[in-house]
């Protein structure tokens, strides 16, 4: 049940917050260097690193994506009628959370330290 709620929360969260940031990012890029600097300033400190808002939205959106991806695949499998045995279902549900956390850590480790 938690994973089902997470699927809706991450989906709706990305649909609202993710869409606004994504469209703002594209429009700011199209607007030129000055408008893009305004976008970047909102999410970074003066030396170019992300500020708290940047980290909350950045990490939040990547985790939401990986969680929604994993629980979405879980739903596609369940659509076929498979995976409804209690033990299998619970294992698959927990695995979506394990995957989303590990994938988020891997993504940000690469971005901040791996490059």
Binding site for other proteins (CB under 8 A): 8, 11-12, 14-16, 19-20, 22-23, 26-27, 29-30, 32-33, 36-37, 40, 62, 65, 69, 72-73, 76, 79, 107, 110-111
DSSP code of residue 44 = B
Sequence-ordered alpha helix ranges (H) in 14-85 = 19-31, 33-43, 52-79
Closer residue to other proteins, CB minimum distance, 19 or 91:
19
Q: Least separation, in Å, of the C-beta of 14 and other proteins?
A: 7
Q: Which is nearer to other proteins, 29 or 102 (CB)?
A: 29
Q: Decide: 7 and 75 in contact? Cβ < 8 Å.
A: yes
**C-beta of residue 39 within 8 angstroms of C-beta of residue 28:** yes
| Residue among 20 and 82 whose Cβ is closer to other proteins | 20
Residue 110 DSSP code: I
């Amino acid at each position: 049940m938690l994973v089902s709620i997470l699927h809706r929360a991450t989906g709706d969260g990305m649909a609202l917050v993710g869409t606004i940031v994504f469209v703002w990012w594209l429009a700011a890029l199209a607007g030129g260097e000055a408008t893009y600097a305004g976008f970047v300033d909102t999410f970074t400190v003066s030396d170019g690193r992300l500020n708290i808002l940047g980290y909350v939205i950045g990490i939040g959106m990547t985790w939401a994506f990986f969680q929604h991806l994993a629980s979405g695949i879980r739903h596609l499998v369940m659509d076929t009628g498979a995976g409804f045995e209690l033990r299998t279902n619970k294992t698959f549900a927990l695995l979506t959370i394990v995957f989303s956390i590990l994938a988020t850590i891997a993504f940000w480790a690469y971005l901040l330290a791996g490059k």
